[in-house]
Structure 1
Amino acid sequence: YKVKIEQTEGLEEVEKYILFLLAQSKLFVDDKRDGIEDRSIIQLANQSNHHYSKKKVKDAFLHLEERGILTLIGRKPSQHYLSDHF
């Protein structure tokens, strides 16, 4: 997934960070509902060296969803998954 993420045009660094975390989650869980939740990604992104804000991460989720890269699979708690075509 790392190569695919790097080769996808028009991605901001925060979007690449989100995709990298979701790709790891996808590799290590059998059921997508057991994957990482958005709130955990927001927390990790804020604590990373980049210190991404909550708003920046949420905006990135929306942008990736609009591009069809992510699919929303849960609302409470909010959770996204890499789209099948990605």
Structure 2
Amino acid sequence: IQCEVLIITVKNQRNILTLLNNMPNLRSLYVHSLDHYWPENGSVSSAMDGLVQWLRQQLPPTCAVTKDENDSFGIHLWIR
């Protein structure tokens, strides 16, 4: 049995894809990204925008990806 909803902190954004590929029952994923705490260039907000864009490019269109309005480092993913 695998969970359908997961809240997790990741150190590397590629771990998000690993989770999605290895958890077929997952329907909702909330990710807190440590990878973007100290962005090399720009602000945290633009770094998280980049993560959202990267995820949208990597995932099928049936996945919805949004930034959390209340958590600068949070991303919501809804998987269909």
TM-score range, shorter chain: 0.3 to 0.5
Q: TM-score, normalised by structure 1?
A: 0.38
TM-score, normalization by structure 2? 0.39
Q: In proportion to residue count, which structure has more helix?
A: 1
Higher strand share: 2
